[in-house]
Amino acid sequence: QVRFVESGGGLVQSGGSLRLSCQASGFSFETSIMKWYRQALGRERELVATISINGRGIDYVPSVKGRFTISRDNVKNTLYLQMDNLKPEDTAVYFCNAPRFPTYWGQGTQVTVSS
């Protein structure tokens, strides 16, 4: 079945870096657009970044442009999110998802940025 397992979150000081990973299984990862989302406490889930099938088409929400980098490894079926210059407002649970499977979500990985 379709499964997403996110990892790599943690507690970091403002200005620090983290690299998130998302291991996908149960579907054809190499033919799927992939996205990272985040959900802060008490807020709705927010789209953070999108990557095309071949990795050449990338888009970010304006608040993370220049600080976050999305990438993928189609051999390992893994999606990544490199997060640099982290800010307290980046604190959230981060999720990955393939748009063709909108009802499948992993447990997410918690990112906490202290000021």
pLDDT tens column, 47-66: 999 999 999 999 999 999 99
Nearest to 97 by CA among 106, 107, 87: 106
pLDDT in tens, 77-86: 999 999 999 9
pLDDT of residue 61: 98
- Inter-residue contact 92 to 6 (CB < 8 Å): no
Task: State phi, psi for 43 to the nearest 5 degrees.
Answer: -125, 165
DSSP structural state of residue 100: T
